[in-house]
Amino acid sequence: MESDAVSRTKQSNIFRLKCSVHNYDWGIKGYDSRVARLFALNSGSIIDPDKPYAEFWMGTHDSGPSFLIAATENGGSVDSDSTSLKSWVSENPNVLGDKVVEKWGADIPFLFKVLSVAKPLSIQAHPDKELAKELHMLQPKVYRDANHKPEMALAITEFEALCGFISLEELKDVLHTVPEIVEMIGDADTNRVLLLNDEDDEDDLKSALRLAFTQLMSASKSLISKAISELKRRLNSESEVRPLTAKEALVLQLEKQYPDDVGVIAAFFLNYVKLTPGEALHLGANEPHAYISGECIECMATSDNVIRAGLTPKFRDVQTLCAMLTYKQGFPEILQGVSMNPYITKYVPPFDEFEVDRCVLPGGASVVFPASPGPSIFLVAGGEGTMLHEESHRSDVISEGDVLFVPDEAEINITSEVELLIFRTGVNHKFFDTFMNGK
């Protein structure tokens, strides 16, 4: 039987969440990790200075569920670990809004995260819905759900990533200047790329890139080890007579972290992206990427499907990854966000499931988050203040580490005591615009 405290929380439909953490090896260790600090404040746990803290999850995915924290009569709170956000939303789908339920059922369609990245994540891609269903059916222990996973990363600190394939012109330059790659993929695949130009048929461009990249990623361990050894020796020698390029310096860094890994050389095929705080990039299904370093907000469709092929000790599925990629070329779009008012910037990717607001609120200032037709999750990433829901006359003191679920059609007024940094994720407003237009 549920407590009265949980019942009262349900009536207001705005409540705090106790969220999950993942301690993957690539995470930043101890107190230096924003994930560690947020999780400790959110859960009341103690930070282990020797443990990596990689991802802070907010949402309903089974691999990292959030739980309700119920309000008490004296203004405090009590954990309700028996009541997950997923089960509560499933039993109370009215909090999602009719349009969300009609599209995605009785669940929140987005997964909200904070990442603290000390060393590169794997070279990976996420499947589209059709492939996700197939992989989940064939290997449910590896691919744990049947959903696609478009995502967006919004930099909190300086943030580096490999993302998407470089242009044809850049790839030709790589083949002319990195002999170790030519040795790995062979003269035939090399010449196939070098003979192309931008006016050629797009399918021919993609086919040549696919053959070359697949040959590289499928190389034998002995060939990979030999090529990386030669590459390392050559770059260290050349660094004495010329400055290395940013990509070359990155490759040497990757080699130290993942020796004899094909991902070290595969990095030459991918765009090296550097985001400053407040910039974002988005990734659709079947696009290769690897986060390198820094801290970010990440949002995605509710899925944990990852197909890996390099820079990882985990399970690799090279054949699936090379077959699934779109092989689009060119530098990814960098989102600067759209200013909604002096304090809130909105980031809108081309995916229905989510958008992200970034709010920097100076001490003593107030701002209104307008009501949305779908649910939202708010993360207080810094500072303190109050959150007021006008309709229910509920006021909450909020501070760093707090995570709150807000139902559809709830207008939220926030006032800061000390400068607040808040991130809000909700369903993409363009989805509702399209829905209303009957398209």
Q: Which residues are catalytic?
A: 308
Question: Cα–Cα distance between 92 and 391 in angstroms, integer?
Answer: 19
Cβ(403)–Cβ(16) below 8 Å? yes
Q: Which is nearest to 297 in space by CA: 155, 171, 131, 193? A: 155
- Residue identified by tokens 């801290």 is 295
DSSP class of residue 23 equals: -
Tokens of 220: 């034998």
Three-state DSSP class for residue 347? strand
DSSP E strand stretches across 220-365: 270-275, 280-283, 289-301, 307-310, 334-335, 338-339, 344-347, 355-361
Q: Which is nearest to 360 in space by CA: 418, 295, 275? A: 418
Q: Which is nearest to 14 in space by CA: 74, 106, 92, 82? A: 92
Q: Which is nearest to 55 in space by CA: 72, 36, 40, 69? A: 36
Question: Cα–Cα distance between 9 and 25 in angstroms, integer?
Answer: 37
Q: For helices 202-217 and 179-194, what crossing angle results, to 10°?
A: 160
Cβ(357)–Cβ(303) below 8 Å? no
Alpha-helical (H) ranges within 93-201 are 98-104, 129-138, 168-177, 179-194
